[in-house]
């Protein structure tokens, strides 16, 4: 009791109402991923004093590279969030209700409310003994079939193939769930359509400037543009785009994602990828220009 984990809309509504009634003036958030960051900003806007602890050395470690994470961290601190990196929470403490968070250092952080934002894990315990194989999430093949006859699975509960790496992984974001649902629907109708693969993609919209991260955050070549508060970082592997991070201007995201998903060789218009006006028209123009 006293710890919010945002497993339902009602939990989020309860938290907001709790704050608006004036019953919470301080909060501790464990975890600085995308969800934790959004919650921290919301609470600050509602006048709550927020401490956010992250065990790793940057915010949003699963998705953001060090440069982009540094921008996000600076903005969070400017907005009033006390972000503490390299700080591990070990337990919530209290008598019947959470009253503090104990840190590995021995310090205990006290607050009016506490939020666990350390990632999501599918609820799959009910499948024990069903014949549906489970690891972290439900195991599926390229058609999203489970190991049980005539049973398919889609959405945040599934370990689907990553579009870039081919590895099975839980990608709990809405666009992937929609695409998986469409694939399952077609396969239930007998079309035998393979799933194209899940995307790694997330965005922050409430920092005052947009931040978007798509794909991997490493490659054998890194291209970066910094100009007037805008950062565009591209990760290439064997001349193909495998990931990108955008700060301040995300208008090129659609074109970059298309190029990445197609696995196109970018040699012909590589030098244009960092231009501020880079967009679909430039790609079409370059594709039509003789090599």
Q: Which domains does the chain have, with CATH numbers?
A: 3-116 (3.50.50.60), 127-188 (3.50.50.60), 202-288 (3.30.390.30)
Over 60: is that where the pLDDT of 282 sits?
A: no
User: For the chain, what percent of residues have pLDDT higher than 90?
Assistant: 71
pLDDT digits (tens, 9 = 90+) for 206-228: 788 899 999 999 999 999 999 98
Distance from C-alpha of 83 to C-alpha of 65, rounded to nearest angstrom: 17
The pLDDT confidence band at residue 105, using thresholds 50, 70 and 90, is very high
Q: Is residue 69 within 8 Å of residue 250, measured between CB atoms?
A: no
Over 70: is that where the pLDDT of 85 sits?
A: yes
pLDDT in the model for residue 287? 52
Pair type for strands 26-30 and 49-53 = parallel
What is the rounded average pLDDT for all residues in the chain?
91
User: For the chain, what percent of residues have pLDDT higher than 70?
Assistant: 95
Over 50: is that where the pLDDT of 125 sits?
A: yes
Interval 237-256 mean pLDDT: 93
DSSP conformation class of 126: G
Interval 170-190 mean pLDDT: 95
Distance from C-alpha of 141 to C-alpha of 152, rounded to nearest angstrom: 9
pLDDT in the model for residue 291? 47
Over 60: is that where the pLDDT of 288 sits?
A: no
């Amino acid at each position: 009791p006293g710890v919010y984990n945002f497993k339902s809309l009602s939990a989020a509504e309860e938290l907001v109402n709790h704050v608006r009634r004036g019953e919470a003036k301080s909060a501790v958030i464990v975890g600085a991923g995308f969800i934790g960051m959004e919650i921290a900003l919301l609470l600050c806007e509602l006048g709550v004093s927020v401490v956010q602890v992250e065990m790793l050395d940057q915010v949003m470690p699963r998705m953001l590279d060090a440069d982009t994470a540094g921008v996000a961290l600076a903005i969070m601190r400017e907005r009033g969030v006390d972000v503490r990196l390299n700080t591990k929470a070990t337990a919530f403490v209290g008598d019947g209700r959470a009253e503090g968070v104990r840190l590995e250092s021995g310090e205990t952080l006290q607050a009016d409310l506490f939020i666990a934002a350390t990632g999501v894990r599918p609820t799959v315990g009910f499948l024990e003994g069903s014949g549906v194989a489970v690891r972290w999430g439900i195991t599926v093949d390229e058609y999203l079939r489970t190991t049980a006859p005539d049973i398919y699975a889609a959405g945040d509960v599934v370990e689907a193939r990553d579009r870039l790496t081919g590895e099975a992984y839980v990608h709990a974001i809405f666009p992937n769930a929609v695409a998986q649902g469409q694939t399952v629907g077609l396969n239930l109708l007998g079309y035998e359509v393979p799933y194209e693969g899940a995307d790694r993609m997330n965005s922050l919209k409430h920092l005052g400037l947009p931040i978007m991260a798509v794909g991997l955050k490493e490659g054998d070549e890194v291209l970066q543009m910094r100009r007037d508060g805008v950062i565009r970082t591209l990760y290439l592997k064997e001349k193909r785009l495998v990931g990108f991070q955008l700060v301040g201007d995300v208008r090129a995201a659609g074109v970059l994602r298309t190029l990445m998903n197609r696995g196109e060789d970018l040699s012909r218009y590589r030098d244009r990828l960092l231009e501020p006006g880079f967009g679909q028209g430039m790609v079409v123009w370059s594709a039509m220009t003789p090599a």
